Structure 1
Amino acid sequence: MLRYNAAQVSAMMKVCVLRIERFDLAIIATLAVLLSGIVATVAAGDRAGIGITDYAPRDLANTRTSLHITFNEPMDTTSAEAALMIDPATPGKITWTGNQLIFTPNVAWLPENSYTITVKAGAQSQAGRSLLSDLRWSFGVDAPKVVYLAPASQENNRVPDLWLVPPGAPDQARQITHEPLGVVNFAPSPDGSSIAYAANMRGGTTDLFLLIVATGETRRLTQCIEAICQAPDWNPDGVRIAYERIELNKNLPSVDAGAARTWIVNVRDLSTAPLFSESQLLGTLPHWSPDGSKIVMYDRNLGATVIFDVTTGERQQLDNYGGDTGEYRFDPSGTWLAYPRLIGIGQLFTTEMWMADFRDKSTHSLSGPDGTPVEDYTPAWNPADGKLAVSRRYLDGSGPTTRQVYIIDPNTDGATPLFVEDGFHHTAIHWSPTGDQLVMMRRPADNSDVAPDIWVYDQRTDKLTELVKDAYLPQWIP
């Protein structure tokens, strides 16, 4: 056994204390280094500021594309919105989805312009960090195109499909759907990236499909068993589609069989449901208002056009027997609705164009002084100047007896012909997103057996040009 005297024990204790002190100092030093590193990292993070992880469009947009700017953390929305600059200046609406700012223009981007987008330094996050340098990029705008159904004649058992054509290059028309039993009707999405269309199915039913324009990919939106689902119309949010559903099941109660009702489908999750839970409320050929707050449709039970406010549940009824063609349209501001109304002039019945004013819920005729024997169809509001184009013919010979395009100023009700081409009917009219071109169907007035063609009128040149033969129901892809 080892024995230590008092001096040896004292010496060993001093060594242990010294070693413990050195160990504590090492630990303290290590902790200090770690703490300083953390402080430096936090300080560096503050100095680095916030980041923008994505933005679009990068190179080329269409006339209705929305801007998308994604930040890497939640933003002070007021600060971020104030930092957004667009040149040339363009009015629009800003919304947010998480950390993403979305700017939707109120008017179309112009194809002749190049737009520069700047997010100025200083935009702050909710944590108080700032964007330290400007983000700036530019994009051009692709000219809108015309989408239509062809062939109209359907000779040799050909069925109609969707086709796409640039107005300035008719030889570049191309087929974009290949449905075995044909396409019935369609609606381009608000931003032009996709098209919802109704296709005939076996068994006499009809279903809705979604076509992605850039890729040609299609996917089914509805499974309408023993029903016809057609006449899609997009909500401005680009997510919800209103459509008409007609039940074919003969075993249903008489109130349901053959009745047309408005349904809504969500293109993201494919959920779908009727607009109204009450079975007695019908609705055919629905159309959304520009802000998505209202839907207009025709109720055959009532013999009336019905405007339904989806936010308040209020229903406004416009008596207009003969309005089941779906010929009603909101103006770009959502202030007015142009709609057809069947009236009698002596022993003659005709369809006038009327206007509902949502400011005071008044209605009045747009078809001229009382007793003017005209027939108006296919209202089309110009998104640029807010005026209304209609397809009009005079029934007493005091004006063109074939359908010509007239422009009506909603503030004065004055009407002037856009052009007159006697011998031809001009119908199914639609303004381009920029409001400078009008696409239409045209056919000889003296031969209804001839298939219609598609023509385009250019306001800039005052020129009417044939675009496609043997085609019908043209619309614009923004």
Structure 2
Amino acid sequence: MMTTKFPLIDKIAVAFIFALSLVIGGLLWSEAACENGCLFHTGPKVSNFTWENKAIGREERAFLLTFNRPMDRASVEDNLRIQPPLSGKFSWSGLRLAYTLDNPAPYGENYLISLKGAQERFPGSEQLGELIQPFRSEFYSRDRAFAYLGSQGEERGRLVLYNWTQKTKTILTPPELTVFEFEPYPQGDLILFSAAKSELGMDAVNHLQLYTVNTEVIANQTPELQLILDHQGYQNQKFDLSQDGKIIVVQRINRKDPTDFGLWLIEENQKPQPIQNSSGGDFLIAPDSQTLAVAQGEGIALLPLQPDAEPLDFLPKFGRVVSFAPDGTAAAMVNYNTDNPKLKYTRSLFYVNNQGIQKELLNTKGSILDCQFNPNVTHLYCLLTELKQGEEYQEQPYLAEINLKTNQINPLLALPEYQDSQISMAPDGLGVLFDQILTTESGQQANLPATSSGETIINSRLWLLLPASEQTKDFSHQLEELPLIGFHPQWLP
């Protein structure tokens, strides 16, 4: 019997075909068997998720999911899961799904997003196609944290960071500096503050310099400070930081010529420059980071943030911008009613939006000290005072909530021990931080921090007001005293 001998090349070809068949069979089996992360997948899948492993803050209100195939939109919406839940709305554009949150994501949380059971569906076809490759990813929100000025012990006069999520406290500034004011940068990684040498005592306010400090401090390391503006030739006063963190506006007075005063512009990597036509009172940078609102005479001047630019507009009806909404769509403004004899010695708080609406919220003989919008711009939280009848002029401060849709004013809390208090709304809407300060006459203890009116702060308490919540079905406000001693608390964005 004769045996057939195959050439070597034929043997190699047969072996290659056999091996390739095994590989193809294995890939087909693995695609059917595996769930997530298949090496080769020919069916529908999520090709991109914009929040993957990302830390989100109040400015992130929507994410995108991009698919590699046209999808049956109803099956995607029905099967998309986020844990913990985040309510929102769906919208589509081609292969991309946008999910917009109804509210900012609560801070200090880790989130899991998953999609399983959705099917592809081609345009013009009623028939559903293959199941999507199961998708899982994670994202997280920033830690819940705030900063305040210490008033006792080693914290006295220093900037302190409290990380609520991690339950840690860090002193950010050295003991040789006394901090007066501060403002966090938009990402919360830096804080801008004014300070002077502690040894100057009561004269420190005339020698303020601007610094930044890093909040992301590694254990046992000294926080990094950077000098932004010195006090040579000028006395630095109030300042404001733009919402994009790229511009600082500071009020300055020439030491040799007190008539030379006004606002200066500090841009990234640029020398400070005076802003023309900027002399006036209170000022705030608008959320667009391009416009400056300045109280001038009998109105509010709107100036472009450029050294030599002319005013954009003038609002003669108002004398002060109390605050802007986080998204820039509205502002709380004060009318001092100087043009109405019937309203003499009263003040009116107005809601003004970018659609031209100017709505009066309240009229008072007391003071409008501070107001903050909640994240969704549905309510305004204000620190107000009520004029008390008596032999002496006396104002009773209180915290109030104003419903911007109904104009209903809800007094929440009387503050009997008020002095120079400030309020701060959490970026995720958790609650309102505020302080209560106990003071004594100025000059009695020069080494202690002082209020803006010069009174010495000898004690202070921090409080958190938790508004009523529709999400948790808790319709009552709650008040919590924090186990921290300080003043001027501000949430990090």
Q: TM-score under structure 1 normalisation?
A: 0.63
| Mapping 1:29-44, distance limit 5 Å | none
| SS of equivalent to 2:396 | coil
Partner of 2:140: 140
Are 1:474 and 2:489 matched, yes or no? Answer: yes
The alpha carbon displacement at 1:473 in A equals: 1.2
Partner of 1:150: 150
How far apart are the structure 1 equivalents of 2:213 and 2:373? Answer: 26
Partner of 1:436: 430
Could you tell me which runs of 5 or more consecutive residues in structure 2 were left unpaired when the two chains were aligned: 1-41, 90-98, 121-132, 198-203, 442-454, 469-475
How far apart are the structure 2 equivalents of 1:86 and 1:179? Answer: 49
Conserved? CA contact 2:194–2:209, under 8 Å: yes
From 375, 394, 398, the counterpart of 1:404 = 398
Task: After superposition, give the CA deviation of every residue in 1:405-460 in whole Å (9 maximum; x if it has no partner).
Answer: 11112333321112345565793111111213110012469998753321111235
How far apart are the structure 2 equivalents of 1:338 and 1:282? Answer: 22
Conserved? CA contact 1:242–1:265, under 8 Å: yes
Q: 1:280 to 1:456 in 2, by over 3 A?
A: same
How far apart are the structure 2 equivalents of 1:53 and 1:169? Answer: 31
How far apart are the structure 2 equivalents of 1:293 and 1:441? Answer: 31
How far apart are the structure 1 equivalents of 2:377 and 2:61? Answer: 24
| Mapping 1:106-125, distance limit 5 Å | 107-111=103-107, 114-116=110-112
Conserved? CA contact 2:106–2:141, under 8 Å: yes
Are 1:308 and 2:311 matched, yes or no? Answer: no
Provide the aligned length of Structure 1 versus Structure 2: 389
Partner of 2:446: none
How far apart are the structure 2 equivalents of 1:104 and 1:208? Answer: 37
Are 1:367 and 2:362 matched, yes or no? Answer: yes
From 449, 455, 462, the counterpart of 1:454 = 462
| Mapping 1:208-357, distance limit 5 Å | 208-215=211-218, 216-223=223-230, 225-229=232-236, 231-236=238-243, 238-250=244-256, 255=259, 257=260, 259-266=261-268, 270-274=269-273, 276=275, 279-282=276-279, 286-299=283-296, 302=297, 304-308=299-303, 314-318=312-316, 320=318, 323=320, 328-343=322-337, 349-357=345-353
Conserved? CA contact 1:145–1:167, under 8 Å: yes
Q: 1:207 to 1:396 in 2, by over 3 A?
A: closer
Conserved? CA contact 1:207–1:228, under 8 Å: no
How far apart are the structure 2 equivalents of 1:294 and 1:359? Answer: 17
Conserved? CA contact 1:262–1:284, under 8 Å: no
Conserved? CA contact 2:186–2:245, under 8 Å: no
Q: 1:309 to 1:86 in 2, by over 3 A?
A: farther
Q: TM-score under structure 2 normalisation?
A: 0.61
Are 1:392 and 2:348 matched, yes or no? Answer: no
Q: 1:169 to 1:86 in 2, by over 3 A?
A: closer
The alpha carbon displacement at 1:198 in A equals: 1.9
How far apart are the structure 2 equivalents of 1:452 and 1:427? Answer: 10
Conserved? CA contact 2:192–2:210, under 8 Å: no
From 387, 404, 408, the counterpart of 1:414 = 408
Q: CA RMSD in A?
A: 5.2
Task: After superposition, give the CA deviation of every residue in 1:331-352 in whole Å (9 maximum; x if it has no partner).
Answer: 2342322123434787973544
Task: After superposition, give the CA deviation of every residue in 1:51-76 in whole Å (9 maximum; x if it has no partner).
Answer: x99987737x364476999xxxxx9x
Identity %: 15
Q: 1:67 to 1:165 in 2, by over 3 A?
A: same
Quick one: which amino acid aligns to residue 367 of structure 1?
L
How far apart are the structure 1 equivalents of 2:371 and 2:490? Answer: 13
Conserved? CA contact 1:162–1:176, under 8 Å: yes
Q: 1:318 to 1:452 in 2, by over 3 A?
A: farther
How far apart are the structure 1 equivalents of 2:81 and 2:246? Answer: 29
Partner of 1:25: none
Quick one: which amino acid aligns to residue 146 of structure 1?
F
